Amino acid sequence: MDEVPDFKDKVCVTGAAGFVASWLIKRLLLSGYHVIGTVRDPGDDKKVGHLWRLSGARERLQLVKGDLMVEGSFDEAIMGCHGVFHTASPVLGLPINSDPKAEILQPAINGTLNVLRSCKKNPSLRRVVLTSSSSTVRARDDFDPGVPLDESSWSSEELCERLKIWYVLSKTLAEKAAWNFCMENKIDLVTILPSFVIGPSLPPLLCSTASDVLGLLTGETEKFHRHGRMGYVHIDDVALSHILLYENENAKGRYLCSSTVIDNHQLAAILSARYPTLSIPKRFKFKAGFEKLDRPYYELDISKLKGLGMEFRSIEEMFDDCVKSLIEQGHLPTYHETME
Ligand SMILES: NC(=O)c1ccc[n+]([C@@H]2O[C@H](COP(=O)([O-])OP(=O)(O)OC[C@H]3O[C@@H](n4cnc5c(N)ncnc54)[C@H](OP(=O)(O)O)[C@@H]3O)[C@@H](O)[C@H]2O)c1
């Protein structure tokens, strides 16, 4: 096992088996933390096996059951922890005819409050870091495209309902609910707002983000997310930012976490030139009926997180790591060109 620093805090990570949480746990263990991860089924080896293979897991990781929809479900996991990283939230796209309130909004909003009520009962708690999303900032029409959006911006709930972008609405309402609860109950909350997360996936089953990227790289771009312009960030930068925001005494409020914002067409041009053996199209077609989701031009102001010392990897670095891992996991055909 790698040498680790002296024992650090005991922290809880909700949704431990997810794409973002798995990488966060990898980084927390490498930094010497004792981690209590919550999952819906700790006995499901297909979902949690990769966590047990992380360096330090056998010594400093515990997995316990936690379901956002079961009141009090996180009490045991959170009690005695100094920090809580709340990442669990429904991310999957909804099947047609499903009920967005039951499947996305309630678990995101009520689940966040459920986790925070457990935090309130825990006298050891120092800080909660909530994984929100840059989508809580950018889904609005009433801004000056010449001025980058920063953490003072909130997505329009009316626009989200009109466009039926339930995930964005769920993240926006969940983060607002968390701020209200934590202010009323004097809980130290910091929120992190990642853009689209790219990089190697530790869970062997592809999450929705990784499936989207695979759709792009294999030419099935209708599977790729349907927004014309998007911010991107390396998964390791997301994990490191979570830890920075937990550890830094001066961290306060919301933090956008993103490297570069680019149009899908620019992204396709960069990636098709970089990986010529993959069938990446040079232009994107919008999935029929989804043209209205093409958002106006925007930039993100990431100076707040950079001000705490964070530096972000480039688009090329994040996709190189992502492509390499998709090949290693057998999701992409072997790629013979040198990536540099
Ligand atoms: N990926 C991105 O590009 C991105 C960008 C910005 C923000 N985020 C945020 O990052 C967080 C993690 O997302 P991800 O990309 O890592 O997605 P993911 O792999 O789908 O992880 C989501 C996690 O939430 C858990 N979850 C969902 N419903 C639950 C419930 N009812 N009870 C308990 N756990 C539940 C899932 O548990 P199961 O394993 O049991 O299904 C899963 O572990 C989310 O809050 C997401 O909004 C992601």
DSSP string, 15-83: TTTSHHHHHHHHHHHHTT-EEEEEES-TT-HHHHHHHHTSTTHHHHEEEEE--TTSTTTTHHHHTT-SE
Is 158 inside any structural domain?
Answer: yes
pLDDT score of 94 = 54
Q: What stretches of 261-312 show up as alpha helix (H) in DSSP?
A: 264-274, 303-306
Q: Which residues contact 283 (CB under 8 A, 6 or more apart)?
A: 265, 268
Atom of ligand 1 nearest to the CA of 171: 47
| Separation of alpha carbons 286 and 294, rounded Å | 9
Q: How far, in Å, is the centroid of ligand 1 from the Cα of 90?
A: 5
Closest ligand 1 atom to Cα of 107: 31
pLDDT in tens, the chain (340 residues): 455 555 589 999 999 999 999 999 999 999 999 999 999 999 999 999 999 999 999 999 999 999 999 999 999 999 999 999 999 999 866 555 678 888 899 999 999 999 999 999 999 999 999 999 999 999 999 999 999 999 999 999 999 999 889 999 999 999 999 999 999 999 999 999 999 999 999 988 887 788 888 888 887 766 666 567 899 999 999 999 999 999 999 999 999 999 999 988 888 889 889 998 888 876 666 666 666 666 788 999 999 999 999 999 999 999 999 999 988 888 887 654 444 4
Is 291 within the bounds of a domain? no
Residues 6+ apart with CB under 8 A from 273: none
The residue among 142, 174, 305 whose CA lies nearest residue 231 is: 305
What pLDDT is stored for residue 220 in this prediction?
75
Helix (H, G, I), strand (E, B) or coil at 99: coil
Question: 168: which 2 tokens?
Answer: 């964005």
Cα separations in angstroms, 285 against 214, 219, 221, 277, 303: 16, 11, 7, 21, 33
Report the atom number in ligand 1 closest to the C-alpha of 209. 1
Asked if residue 57 belongs to a domain, the reply is yes
**How many residues in total does the chain contain?**
340
Residues with CB under 6 A from ligand 1: 15, 17-21, 39-40, 47, 66-69, 87-91, 107, 111, 131, 133, 171, 194, 196-197, 207, 209
Give the chain's domain count. 1
Domain-located, residue 182 = yes
Strands (E), 217-316: 229-234, 253-257, 260-263
| Centre of ligand 1 from the C-alpha of residue 42, in Å | 16
What is the pLDDT, as a whole number, of residue 227?
A: 61
Within-domain flag for 293: no
Q: Within a domain: residue 253?
A: yes
Closest alpha carbon to 293 in 155, 202, 205, 165: 165
The CATH number covering residue 55 comes to: 3.40.50.720
Q: What is the pTM of this model?
A: 0.94
Kindly state whether residue 337 falls inside one of the protein's structural domains: no
Closest of 126, 107, 106, 90 to residue 12, by C-alpha: 126
Q: How many other β-carbons are positioned within 10 Å of the β-carbon of residue 222?
A: 13
Which pLDDT value is given to residue 311? Answer: 98
For the chain, give the mean pLDDT.
Answer: 90
The answer to whether 87 touches 13, Cβ cutoff 8 Å, is: yes
Domain region containing 128: 10-199+231-259+299-313
Would residue 210 count as lying in a domain?
A: no
pLDDT of residue 210: 80
Q: What pLDDT, on a 0 to 100 scale, did the predictor assign at position 340?
A: 43
